[in-house]
Structure 1
């Protein structure tokens, strides 16, 4: 069998898996299995055939492109559904978790990583903590949508997961730059200034893009100039326009996409359902592809470099770091201990951590890349399994506890 035919067969197997999952989505929702579990395992099974069928440079460029496209759309989409008006009424819990819990998670994670692996240095510890801080509600979707979970808890999880991947970006960028500079022995002054410019100019590009596109689309809607089928194109173009504009002026494109989504969602005066519809369709395909790529290309490499240290770091991030930071951030909130534990536990690591790692490793050169990959791979794999399998029973538990 020649290489082209081998590659075609692997791609066909992947496409058939996409079709099979789509046909059985309702059945999967009723089981303990989740999309991330299924496609991570499928990717791992197809890892060797995929590496054999495709040239390394094709796989490398493909996973980077997939990472950039998916992350831009996820950031824009998640932020576009956060309403300032709604947050005025129920902002306290997610605000505590984001304003206090997120920096605390990064700080505590940095300390834990440095204590366990001091040879990596404080910069690598910061980068590891920042990459492993953002959460992914898709891994515990049954919690967010479950009728058993009190609305204040499910809404808090939803808002936090929608915002924290964008808010943690400056920490990821700073950690990557400092780790890269430390390896090269270069003066970090210029790099620090570059980081500040990216963090400042990125949001500016996002604000301009989000507001202008929202205003133009409002005019088009009011005058009945836009067809419903074209609304998704505007969403796509706006997300990538923010990214490109930020990159052109020296800002961070991912921060720009996140801010643009928030400004667009709160400035657009008509129904924004087309963003959700796109992400439930084409966005679902990107999500399936991302977890498959994780299982096929990242997880095997991560496991190959795994050590006792990386496993301990992964377990600590899923337990002590996350739960401890959230518990402290919710002190004085009036929540019961079990509710604090519930919110702390459901901080699964997934898509954002995977995509940040792909992009950081490809963009920057720093020592201990293998250890970072191992930490992220093991943490995400464990999170996919334990959070996915525990979401339904724990949603039922918190609901029963709330009724009693």
Structure 2
């Protein structure tokens, strides 16, 4: 009989394991990132898989919620992680970056993403014949964007700093920040097509009018355009407000340099100021959370709001004397990424990759089809179009750079977020159907059951391939040199 004091819950074990991993990884992170060349996202996901619901079952997020439905939890965690990472990416870019590189970002957003969306959707339809083309477009839309979390972990290592030109690092980072929000038009157009094309309740002219209206007005104009404008305004106001207050506080601190330490320890609130120096650190993080709340409440594109707010916030690099505060946010962001990928690893549905569950709806879902779609995504989704158009992209200077940019289109948190958003929409539409709409309900159920394992599989493959690409390249180069010397 176990001593009665040792009565832990799954949450307690989760705290222990996450803390243990973060401590252990932090102690060896420099060696792993700069000598083994594998990112924290890979190790975190692997740790989550081993300790999660698939193997050891020590971390079991399904036990954290009453109905074992973790969709909403995954959705909100993904939203939080993405918005913080996107905002951090935006403020880390050089001064007025978008002003001088908008054409490059525009080319990577519009033609490259559109190509990836249509071509990947077509291959999904080809590999999974029972799916409609619109279903393939929806799944392709979820994985069209590149991921800022994975891109940041790949582009900040010692190898990248030494071997990847600075302009490419910034381009990949900024593209990953902005294109998550720009995936919304592709996803919502696919959802509207699914909603109306699979319905027999409306005539064709009604369907066409409502698809165009809902997509152009609700998505493009409101979610995207208004979201971007709202983000710019909020970032500008934040820059003016925080910059003015902090600069005044800096002047006060400078003027008070002759005072005793005891007086200064009272904080910058001493005298005419209103807040302590510690509060400066929380202002930035609180600003991000405030933006998330505003965007979610207004129903606009919170990812795009985060990017443009961060861009406007750091437009003049006014905070250059306050790098310590931003280092704190980067450290917090690193910790949250580790926790998120552990969580993601613990819920990857490996048992659904080979038609083990819901056989009635997903009889085509088996591992060989997933392997095919993984190869398509890695090889065709992005690389060919970037190599074809690189002469039209100003910041990609040669074919070698186009290969690099085309390859590093990591898929991660953004795809999980888009997947949860799509499932929420599909479930809401399915709930509106009557019992007589059997065909439509069956189609919705099949798509809901298929989208989650397909997206998680692609994300898992991307974490392994993109997270390990630098390691494979470095090891291969080292082995080649050794063999050349021996010969």
Q: TM-score range by the shorter chain?
A: 0.7 to 0.9
Cα deviation for residue 296 of structure 1 reads: 0.9
Correspondence for 2:236: 211
**Aligned equivalent of 1:44:** 49
**Aligned mates of 1:180, 1:92 — CA distance in 2:** 34
2:292 to 211, 234, 243: 243
Structure 2 residue matching 1:372: 3-state secondary structure: helix
Alignment of 1:309-348 (within 5 A): 309-331=369-391, 335-348=397-410
| TM-score for the superposition, normalised by structure 1 | 0.85
1:210 touches 1:262 (CA, 8 Å); kept in 2?
yes
User: Which digits, 9 at most, give the CA deviation of each residue in 1:161-184, with x for residues without a partner?
Assistant: 233223223323333454455567
Aligned to 2:330: 280
| Match for residue 25 of structure 1 among 15, 25, 29 | 29
> 1 CA distance for matches of 2:97 and 2:225?
27
Q: SS state of the match for residue 36, structure 2?
A: coil
In 2, Cα distance between equivalents of 1:91 and 1:397: 36
Residue matched to 2:169: 154
C-alpha RMSD over aligned residues: 3.2
When residues 58 and 83 of structure 1 are mapped into structure 2, their CA distance, relative to the original with a 3 A threshold, is farther
Q: Is the 8 A contact 2:410 2:463 kept in 1?
A: yes
Shift of the alpha carbon at 1:261?
A: 1.8
What are the within-5 Å matches in structure 2 for residues 351-390 of structure 1?
A: 351-365=413-427, 366=444, 367-390=446-469
Moved more, 7-16 or 333-342: 333-342
Deviation at 1:103, TM superposition (A): 2.4
Partner residue in 1 for 2:347: 297
Moved more, 55-64 or 347-356: 55-64
- Pair 1:199-2:224 in alignment: yes
How far 1:8 sits from its partner (Å)?
Answer: 1.9
The residue correspondences of 1:179-198 to structure 2 (distance < 5 A) are 179-180=194-195, 188-189=210-211, 191-192=214-215, 193-196=217-220, 197-198=222-223
Spell out the pairing of 1:97-116 with structure 2 (5 A cutoff).
97-116=108-127
Which of 209, 218, 221 aligns to 2:246? It is: 221
* Structure 2 Cα separation of the partners of residues 89 and 171 of structure 1: 27
**TM-aligned CA deviation for residue 124 of structure 1:** 2.1
The corresponding residue for 2:305 is: 256
Q: Report the equivalent of 1:402.
A: none
SS at match of 2:164: coil
Secondary structure at 2:162 match in 1: coil
Contact 2:243–2:318, Cα closer than 8 Å, also in 1: yes
Q: 1:207 to 1:92 in 2, by over 3 A?
A: closer
Q: CA deviation at 1:319?
A: 0.8
Q: Which moved more, 1:380-389 or 1:272-281?
A: 272-281
Is the CA contact (8 Å cut-off) linking 1:37 and 1:388 kept in structure 2?
yes
- CA separation in 2, counterparts of 1:237 and 1:180? 38
| Unpaired segments ≥5 residues, structure 2 | 250-272, 356-364, 428-443, 478-487
Matched position secondary structure for 2:454: helix
How many residues are paired up?
A: 399
How far residue 220 of structure 1 moved from its aligned partner, in angstroms, is 0.5
CA distance in 2, matches of 1:231, 1:19: 27
After TM superposition, the score normalised by the length of structure 2 is 0.72
Tell me how far apart the structure 1 counterparts of residues 69 and 26 of structure 2 sit (CA, whole Å).
25
Deviation of 1:298 (Å): 3.0
- State the shift of 1:38 in Å: 0.9
For the 8 Å contact 1:36–1:288, the answer to whether it is kept is: yes
Q: In 2, are the aligned partners of 1:246 and 1:252 still within 8 Å (CA)? A: yes
- Helix, strand or coil: the match of 2:227? helix
Query: 3-state DSSP class of the match of 2:410?
Result: coil
Deviations 1:89-136 (A, max 9, x none): 556544432343222222322232233334322332222122112223
Matched, 1:138 2:198: no
The structure number with the bigger radius of gyration is 2
Give the corresponding residue for 1:401: none
Per-residue deviation, 1:278? 3.6
**Partners of 1:176 and 1:100 in 2: CA distance:** 21
> Is the counterpart of residue 15 in structure 1 residue 15 in structure 2?
no
Counterpart-to-counterpart distance in 1, 2:287 and 2:14: 34
Moved more, 17-26 or 196-205: 196-205
Shift of 1:332: 5.0
Name which of structure 1's ranges 325-334 and 203-212 shifts more when overlaid on structure 2. 325-334
1:117 corresponds to which of 128, 142, 164: 128
- In the alignment, structure 1 segments of 5+ residues that lack a partner are 399-404
SS of 2:154 mapped into structure 1 = helix
CA distance in 1, matches of 2:118, 2:69: 34
Distance 1:221 1:246, change over 3 A: same
Separation (CA, whole Å) in 2 of partners of 1:143 and 1:375? 33
